[in-house]
Structure 1
């Protein structure tokens, strides 16, 4: 059992974050919204219920609150602390601003701040280590908005294509499952598997294809909706997995475009396509990065029908991509197929009312309002780590949840309850 707080940022009887940590709290909850073009801590509108008492940050910026926690973790006085759980309760405001992009930003922020302190879901598979092996670590748990959690558990799309380079970069593009929006996933190969770090929309079209060279240059092609116009767009893949894109430019008329670099580190691009008059044609040209364009030469006959559903990997091997029942999946060297989702960084939390398929994926954590004892006992029997929020004195005799998140962590009844339960610190 852990001492835990509900709305840890709200002060009042909770006091400051440092006060909570000094009192033995090892599960904190921060509500996350999208305010003023950045991720913020707030219960609703920017700044709502955010306390700046004591040594709490003077801003609403999520970065500042997470950085404060990192400083506490690094303080030698706290060396060997029980693994610290940070519940990131995503509010509806995040989803309404484009939850996919915001989750990418959230993941990047957490990786930068906590880095080697993070205990990832992969480390708990197939079994959890002893808690003493996790001391000094931080566990991030994504909670709250169901739409956001769903999209972190699976992604839907059509016509996927993938490319990789010899420096470990990887990028996937696809058309949305319900329209013509074009999206990409990007990241890096690590420990023999793709770690998808960034997900965003980059344009409109159908039948997308993509190429990536060793310099991190990206070329994406697609056919326009409702016409045979083929468009191309240059991009750049950053170290953080984020792609920056130039404007879309008209290339040719045709269908089923394919794209490649003529050499792994080169800047010459080749695009082949089915020409309107029949046959396969190809155009080549050198990238003019400063001008955000390719200096194309005339079209010539081509036999290239590149399979963009697979990409060669550095050191040998192959990465494959597919859409099965509209769900995007990847596979390495003909092995098992895996959901195309963010790299394992945050644990997912199950909540009452979640779809059956979400529950079937077996999230490690579960949460409900305090008092939902039958539901909690069922989750405990399944091996879940269960959190109750708004845990009060009246709930002491209820289900023995792992994280009884209270608003009053300093009161004698709570400390006595924690001591009786053998709470870790």
Structure 2
């Protein structure tokens, strides 16, 4: 009896572990069932539980978009002249200041003219001598001609005298050529500017012996007004450029990397061949450059407007996203949710991209905050901007909260 009172029944001791196991199994089954229910819920329900993402959006817009081709080019002087001495001699003086603007005909340098002047005097003296001999020969020819008519002289003597006269006349012609050569050499001792332009740095000082065959010029003269820019475009743009040129004069705008306009000119030359190595076409534009903002050797961008896409569907460039499958845009759907739409684009101008497919009139695209979006995520539109420039200005002023 004592044992029965102090020791629990054997059946009761076995029931306790079974009860604990049952409770554990029941809790696990409940947790598994809840996880299955959550996994079975659609993405829209999951997204609906997340807080809305703040974004900026704009409506797609139809507009006329200018087609502007952009190429990188190098500024070149319209004329570049190496100023050399054209005769040998001593550089007597340099008559320009480095960086000076000069006109055609201005004296740039002078060489010692004494040797050239002596050659000129010698040629003139030779001509005077031959002219004097010619007078005497012509007088003798006249006398021989009269004597032969009276049979006092032979015909041979007349012919010989005629040959002497003709030889002296030829000598005078040679003397005149020698005088012209000597005069030209004397003129070349004064070095003048052949064109208008700006002088570069002086390479030779007065007192140096110069030769016409020297490789080092006295200085370099460059014409900066007007000035040229040689630039390249992909060969696929050739048709557009030719069509624009056929309609009339094509404008060209030169800018820096930051977009600062340096000058406006016109397209002057389309090269006659395409570079097979780079598949590019060279072109040249001419700019008046009255303010001399374009400088030879500088790299500039050249914008070439060649047409207009009429009534195009456009979005800001900020709305165009790139993914592994191509371009896409985030579009506001029903219930202020964000959906992804694949798109195709065309020309880009002034921060505006032409959309050729994927969007329609009335769509609103997200231009800011896309990196926080998921498909079908709820969004809160906190502002709509007409252009990317307005959106950027507001962001910089602190009015936009990211």
TM-score, with length taken from structure 1: 0.19
Bigger radius of gyration, 1 or 2? 2
